[in-house]
Amino acid sequence: MSVISEVQHYQFASGLEVKLHHVPHLCRAAVVWIVPSGSHQEPPEWPGLAHLTEHMVFSGGTTFRDQQRLMPWVQQKGGRINATTQPNYTAYYFEIDPEDLGEGLSRLNDMLTAPCFDVAHLRRETTVIDEEYRLYCHSPEVLTSAALHSQVEYPTAFSQFHIGNLATFGTDLVALGDALQQFFSQHYTAKKSHVWIASPQSTQQQYQQVTSVLGLPSDANVKLNTHSQPTVSESGIITWQNWEGEIQLSQQPGLGISIVLEIETLSDWPLFVELMTDRAPGGLSQVMSQHLGRYFSVRVERHYHDHQQIWFTLWLEGTDFTDEEARECLLIWQRWLMELSKLTAVELDHYQHLAQSRALTLPAMEFLREYALGFIFSFPPKGKAAGRCLQQATSTINTYALLHSRRMSSARRVECQGLSCQFQSTILQLSCPTLRDFPFVFYPRPQPSVLPMALNRKSNVPLKTFQPSSERFCLFIRPATASAISHQVREELTRALSPVLSLAKHYAGEASWQPVMGNDLLYLGFKQFTDFVYCLDLLVKCWPKALPRSSLDDYEILPLRQLLLNMPSLLADDFDQWTVTYTGPSLTESKRVQALLGNLPIDWYTEESVPQRFQQPVQLITQHDHATLIAFIPYDTDSIQELFLYQQLARYYESEFYHQLREVEAVGYAVACRERIFRDHWGLQIILQSSHRSAEQLYIHVLTFFRDLVFTSFRIQPHFSLDIEKSGNKDIDHYLQHRLFPAVQMTKQGGSQPLELEEAHHVLVEKVRRKEGRWIYIE
């Protein structure tokens, strides 16, 4: 399967290389601009300078200033934008509607080739980065990464500080500005930069927009390029002695196997990731889980890569491991590596197809970023060729570390990358190196010939049915409208149901457990009813026999990103009640499905249309040195026209809110105001986090912004088109629109006139003033 239909590679007179990609399955155009310089290239006397440069270029160039800069412009267009500073590269990326590609590229080119560095912006961004640094100081993931980097023997650059804060930047802004300008001039040159563009439009259509911005390319510099090469700076081969590390992070118990893989023979990294993270019965993590007698989650964290190597960690999380269990898991992993060499061409093609299918589900921005870095290929090798590449790559693994994270341990404090964490390392000793056989399974496998029997412990499961145009058998399970589950329950279910989610894809089905439109949703979808029932039976077997009751306890210890994922729980009136809906080409099978669901040990809810009652503001106390304000303000609408008006207002708020509170008032690092859907309601989500203001002061900033906002450049679009968050799955989108969003299908009835702009804004101002909706204060 070819992901990319056509690639054109151009080099312009400035030396800038641009690659255009026609990717038919994308809905939006995406741009990734990579500068092959990161924290490893910054001068040692200025730690964090590369990160500061990334922030400063967003201040704007010589042509596009203020609200015409790339970031507010993308926000107003409803697009997405981000940037990252890594050890060996810095990347800037955004996605937008295809027809706006040229305008977006103009703004990106302006800020990266002719930025305006001034003292006021420099003072602001050093403060913002200091806020970011303070957040990192409390992040278990960042501290774990810092501990791991501290143990690298070569290259020594991995132990250098690369985040930056007020202490490393100093008080002499003139000297800092000079260093910033010199670093930019040396590394942000057109000859070093590479631009990738992907769009559903043809490369010829993209070419017309690109040349209108960058001019005509140099002669004889057009060529096809079917494989992306990672444009990053290279480092020496990472080395350390085999060691066992132990890190004391009470919030993140688990085990990590950290590996350096030489990639010059690895043609498709996603294939290796697909095999490592396969959680179906017989997969690596499930064999470990079965061996230990408990389940855990698995993920892959990529620390670094260049043209020679990938450094990553395979994390097993969610449970404590004893010393003996940690060593047993390492032995199982070593045995699994040996089994990879025995995979058949059919099995390899199967996993290659799964990896390719996963890439197709990525949003445009993430898809292009992974492709630009070399992790998605247009034409991956198949069968025996893929097997040889995989075997050659795994044979290069001769350096690894076992990182043991647990709730209680005696560990020394380590300073690395400007961060402090408790960590100790010892030489790894394997007392029993014998590699016995384990029951690994690689798919595809023959399907069962006998359908499971329904025990039918409960006969009163309130199964709802509806019949869409789809020819698939689908099941949707989610918390009831005014109900939700806590993050502890979500994590436990995620780990327990991982075999179901992985097995479905092996049988040409799909299973997912994800937040969609503000709802936790478990989805199963198959073309064949026998496959559907087999997976549903596994769901019943994997569902925990008992779950802790959901509560808001311990929410204060969660980092901001986790809090946002748990917004449905924070908005709910009640916990732990579920609804279920089934659909299929015919509904005659629903009785069997209902009988199987009766074996799930959960409380079913019969009514789905329950009025939402948002609770009073909640105050959470934490030991962190920063305050957080999260709010959700639901709209009051009685027509699709009014909902569209609020949606346009939200776009205007997003860019103005960020500009005023992040750039002008420098409230903190995390600043956002955007439209979201939670608990079946459309509304505004507000996020503020600060290390030098209280939660109540953050509220005053929000109120002042809404009360004083003046509409200077806002225009209502004459023809409305309601934007609805898409899940990437047609069955899920159809279900949510059918069951949860009748407002989307409403038309204005006779009677009252639709809201005007000023009136709608006034309504929201009053909601902020009265703190309507859900307001969460953490300090």
402: β partners: 244, 257
Tell me the HSE value of 253 on the side-chain side, using a 13 A CA sphere.
13
Nearest CA to 315 out of 101, 145, 112, 113 is that of 145
Pairing of strands 194-199, 254-262: unpaired
Which residues, including other chains, have CB under 8 Å from residue 708's CB and lie 6 or more apart?
none
Burial letters for 148-181: b for 16+ Cβ neighbours within 10 Å, e otherwise? bbbbbeeeebbbbbbbbbeebbeeeeeebbebbe
Tokens of 548: 């802790």
61: β partners: 115
Q: Picking from 33-37, 345-349, 604-608, which range would have the lowest pLDDT averaged per residue?
A: 604-608
Burial letters for 131-142: b for 16+ Cβ neighbours within 10 Å, e otherwise? bbbbbbbbbbeb
- Higher confidence at residue 764 or residue 755? 764
Nearest CA to 393 out of 234, 272, 228, 236 is that of 272
pLDDT at 98 over 90: yes
Q: Cis omega before residue 479 (within 30°)?
A: no
Supply the DSSP string of 31-52, one letter for each residue.
EEEEES--GGGS-TTSTTHHHH
512: β partners: 523
Average pLDDT value for residue range 112-127:
92
- Higher confidence at residue 11 or residue 179? 179
Name the helix (H) or strand (E) containing 405: strand 400-406
pLDDT at 620: 64
Sheet arrangement for strand 243-248:
297-305, 309-317, 254-262, 400-406, 243-248, 419-427, 412-416
Binned at pLDDT 50, 70 and 90, residue 722 comes out as low
Nearest CA to 321 out of 279, 363, 299, 288 is that of 288
Q: Picking from 66-70, 141-145, 655-659, which range would have the lowest pLDDT averaged per residue?
A: 141-145
Q: What's the pLDDT tens digit per position in 418-463?
A: 788 777 777 766 655 555 678 899 999 876 666 666 555 556 788 8
pLDDT at 552: 66
Q: What's the pLDDT tens digit per position in 465-513?
A: 876 656 889 999 988 876 778 777 888 888 899 999 999 999 888 888 8
Tell me the HSE value of 393 on the side-chain side, using a 13 A CA sphere.
25
SS3 104: helix
Nearest CA to 272 out of 360, 188, 171, 340 is that of 340
Cα separation of 619 and 600, whole Å?
35
Q: Which domains are seen in the chain, by residue range?
A: 6-139+156-214 (3.30.830.10), 243-427 (3.30.830.10), 463-597 (3.30.830), 618-778 (3.30.830)
Cα separation of 544 and 523, whole Å?
18
Average pLDDT value for residue range 223-233:
61
Angle of the 498-506 helix axis to the 529-542 helix axis, nearest 10: 160
**Are the beta carbons of 565 and 491 closer than 8 angstroms?**
no
**Are the beta carbons of 176 and 53 closer than 8 angstroms?**
no
Cα separation of 185 and 180, whole Å?
9
Q: Picking from 155-169, 287-301, 320-334, 407-421, which range would have the lowest pLDDT averaged per residue?
A: 407-421
580: β partners: 463, 477
Q: Picking from 16-20, 263-267, 500-504, 505-509, which range would have the lowest pLDDT averaged per residue?
A: 263-267
Cα separation of 91 and 33, whole Å?
6
Binned at pLDDT 50, 70 and 90, residue 744 comes out as very low
pLDDT at 556: 63
Q: Picking from 227-241, 591-605, 688-702, 733-747, which range would have the lowest pLDDT averaged per residue?
A: 733-747
pLDDT at 205 over 60: yes
Angle of the 757-769 helix axis to the 640-657 helix axis, nearest 10: 70
Tokens of 590: 């629903």
pLDDT at 749 over 50: no
CB count within 10 Å of CB 443 equals: 19
Cα separation of 707 and 71, whole Å?
24
What residue has token string 């602001």?
124
pLDDT at 32: 97
pLDDT at 549 over 90: no
**Are the beta carbons of 684 and 760 closer than 8 angstroms?**
no
The fraction of the chain above a pLDDT of 70, given in percent, is 83
pLDDT at 62: 92
Cα separation of 378 and 158, whole Å?
32
SS3 224: coil
For 741-755, the three-class secondary structure string (H helix, E strand, C coil) is CHHHHCCCCCCCCCC
Long-range contacts of 749-758 (CB under 8 A, 24+ apart): 749/639, 752/638, 754/639, 754/641, 754/642, 754/645, 755/642, 755/645, 757/645, 757/649, 757/711, 757/714, 757/716
Burial letters for 271-288: b for 16+ Cβ neighbours within 10 Å, e otherwise? bbbbbbbbbbbbbbbbbb
Tokens of 523: 């989805």
pLDDT at 748: 42
The fraction of the chain above a pLDDT of 90, given in percent, is 33
Nearest CA to 671 out of 649, 652, 650, 698 is that of 698
| CB neighbour class for 717 (10 Å; exposed up to 12, middle 13-18, buried from 19) | exposed
- Higher confidence at residue 6 or residue 721? 6
pLDDT at 430: 62
pLDDT at 228: 53
Backbone phi and psi for residue 54, each to the nearest 5 degrees, phi listed first: -55, -45
Backbone phi and psi for residue 81, each to the nearest 5 degrees, phi listed first: -150, 150
Q: Quick one: DSSP state of residue 566?
A: T
pLDDT at 166: 93
Residue type present at position 476: F
pLDDT at 31 over 70: yes
**Are the beta carbons of 321 and 404 closer than 8 angstroms?**
yes
Tokens of 15: 């030396």
Supply the DSSP string of 372-383, one letter for each residue.
HTTSS-SS---H
Q: Cis omega before residue 155 (within 30°)?
A: yes
pLDDT at 610 over 60: no
pLDDT at 69: 93
| CB neighbour class for 57 (10 Å; exposed up to 12, middle 13-18, buried from 19) | buried
Q: Picking from 104-108, 648-652, 765-769, which range would have the lowest pLDDT averaged per residue?
A: 648-652
Claim: this prediction has a pTM higher than 0.75 = yes
